[in-house]
Amino acid sequence: MTASAKCLIVQPIHQIGFEVLRRAGIIPVLCPDPSPETVLRMIPECSAVITRDAGLNAEAIAAAGALRVIAVHGTGHDPVDKPAAAAAGAIICTTPGANARSVAELTLGLALALARRIPAADQAVRGGTAGYRERESFTELNGKTALIVGWGQIGRLVGAMFSNGLGMEILAYSPRIANIRGARKVDDLRAGLARAHLVSLHTPLRFETANMFDAEAFAAMRPGVLLVNTDLAGLIDEAALVHALESGVVAGAALDLFSPEAPTGPLGRDPRVILTPHLGGSTEEALASTARVAAEN
């Protein structure tokens, strides 16, 4: 890129990202909003783009004219039109590991919140509901079995936290990783689900993982399982999850990503379900690290 190159910032990033760009002689151009119309209007003459979950569509890529780099603020690049980027000769970069600690810590927090039903207990106290502690049941995670689906950087951190911090037995299902350390490798997902008291999702969304948690997967689970998803919404068939909650197979679910309809549907109305607004990589530390790596890319 030349000294006059421009980088379109589709969604706000940490200030350190702007500083890295400016030090390299690149002019950051911040979108006032991430709508496709706004991006299309502002992207011409930009040599690079930094985008978060808004992604970048084919029309915007074509309109840029001389786009060379699409830097994703995070690891999920599904919202970026990859065939269009390839046709334009633009490289797609992600920031693997930059927010791994942040996501892992949220996963731990959600697991504890499910086991002790913390959000529902808070609402009971605020609403003046008496007898909540006596009416509901709670569980410890110590000595239980956790199945980690996806043994990448986040999955490994989560496994270590569950094992070292909570004394849990760790199973790992990750077909693309041959040698798994720190967990007992599970080759068959259904067999792992049958043993797990807690299932935590940390696998990329691919053709073979889309809706991998469907009715058959939930049927393979032991009754009363806890489910945590701090990865991608498309991994779970939400209608199947609703049925699993109704039948008691799933005792509680914590979702950091979900469909737009989930908060106003059966999942949003179920007090055993925790919904958080994609908080996984939203710590100050993770935002700074991810913005820096995206800008360096």
Annotated catalytic residues are 261, 278
Q: How many angstroms separate the CA atoms of 56 and 209, rounded?
A: 22
HSE-CB of 68 using CA atoms within 13 angstroms: 9
- Measured CA to CA, the distance from residue 47 to residue 40 in angstroms comes to 14
The two tokens of residue 76 are 């999920």
Residue 247: name the closest of 222, 274, 213 by CA: 222
**E strand or H helix at 154:** helix 153-160
- Point out which residues pair with 56 in neighbouring strands: 80
N-terminal to C-terminal alpha carbon distance within the chain: 12
Tokens of 242: 């609703």
- The answer to whether 267 and 126 are in contact (CB under 8 A) is no
Alpha helices in 65-152 (DSSP H): 82-88, 100-116, 118-126, 132-135
Cα–Cα dist 238/252, whole Å: 13
Is residue 209 within 8 Å of residue 196, measured between CB atoms? no
Residue 236 DSSP class: B
Q: Using alpha carbons, select from 104, 103, 98, 108 the residue that is nearest to residue 13.
A: 98
DSSP letter assigned to residue 222: P
